[in-house]
Amino acid sequence: MAFRNRVTELLGIRHPIVQGGMMWVGRAELASAVSNAGGLGTLTALTQPTPDDLRREIERCRSMTDKPFAVNLTILPSVNPPPYAEYRRAIIESGVRIVETAGNKPQEHVEAFKAHGLTVIHKCTAVRHAVSAQRMGVDIISIDGFECAGHPGEDDIPGLVLIPATADQVTIPIIASGGIGDGRGLAAAMALGAEGVNMGTRFCATREAPIHEAIKQFLVDNDERATHLIFRKFHNTGRVARNSVSDKVVSLSQAAEATFEDVRSYVSGARGREALATGNLDAGLIWAGQIQGLIHDIPSCQVLLERMVREASEIIQQRLGRMLVQRQEMA
């Protein structure tokens, strides 16, 4: 069983399931496994220290799969920003055909990618941003609900509203992100107007995810309440798993006079990377969404995608179909 729609056709994939770009996690091991399983794997550009390292990672991924895969380039405001234009050039010159963009003021990058014929997926957290991205010329919108890991924006709109609200306002395909990890989520997203899904946290709890087994088991053991919203005070809300570090960040942020400098040492990327690599749950932040409550195992990407598609197909064709009755039966 398979789904065919604009997303599968545009991306050249068998299943409308995309692995989102994740810092430290979006490496060749995971991206190639997702692509080989029929979805779209994604390398995270800024996980690589330099643009040349990204070039090498792209080639490593290409040696592990002959299927399409994407590269994520997230543009974030920073005092000392990375050389985004050089990373962009590495993506283009390496022959990558699909890119996921996200973050602040992506127009320069979107225009360059489109000028070189790349298919652009742009991640948004609000309908107005999706409308703007469509005007910018992107090919697919990834709309990220409040349930997601990472940065859900400041509007606090969950997917049940955000997905159809976006579908009402744009004509290009959308994929749904946030709070999705099984066939029920895939079927629901399509019912709400999406043509596929994007998953991050769920792919962290797979065999091929290049993170410590203790982190994967942590995600399995957690429930849907086991997240914190951090940086709310600084208007840069992020959702992370609950651990001693995120507890401390929330506590420090509650002070009326709190500034980002008060939490900076706790939220560094280096500390988060250490947690993922060593399995030390209290080394740093562990970014994870509310979907933790629906993660019960650590399958291969192949098993996960096949199971999701099978479950979604059964829901659409059988469970929902049985609820429909002819008018005369209701008389």
* Confidence (pLDDT) at 238: 95
Task: Extract the tokens encoding 4.
Answer: 């065919």
* Confidence (pLDDT) at 327: 59
Q: Class of 8-211+305-323 per CATH? A: alpha beta
Q: pLDDT per residue over 56-98, tens digit each?
A: 999 999 999 999 999 999 998 776 899 999 999 999 999 999 9
Backbone angles phi, psi at 113, to 5 degrees: -65, -45
H/E element holding 272? helix 269-278
Backbone angles phi, psi at 234, to 5 degrees: -100, 10
Residue 137, CA distances (Å) to 21, 118, 134, 178 in order: 21, 11, 5, 24
Residues present in the chain in total: 331
pTM of the model: 0.95
* Confidence (pLDDT) at 308: 98
Domain borders along the chain are: 8-211+305-323, 213-278
Q: Which strands make up the sheet holding 17-19, listed edge to edge?
A: 17-19, 197-199, 174-177, 140-144, 119-124, 98-103, 69-75, 41-44
**Rounded distance between C-alpha atoms, residue 203 and residue 35, angstroms:** 12
- Helical residues (DSSP H) of 103-158, grouped into ranges: 107-115, 127-136
Strands of the chain, DSSP E = 17-19, 41-44, 69-75, 98-103, 119-124, 140-144, 174-177, 197-199, 227-230, 238-241
* Confidence (pLDDT) at 52: 98
Q: pLDDT per residue over 23-46, tens digit each?
A: 999 999 999 999 999 999 999 999
Residue 27, CA distances (Å) to 79, 88, 235, 274 in order: 26, 17, 29, 16
Task: Extract the tokens encoding 81.
Answer: 């920003």
* Confidence (pLDDT) at 331: 55
8 Å CB contact between 69 and 35? yes
* Confidence (pLDDT) at 318: 86
* Confidence (pLDDT) at 132: 97
Q: Which residue stretches of the chain have pLDDT < 50?
A: none
* Confidence (pLDDT) at 330: 58
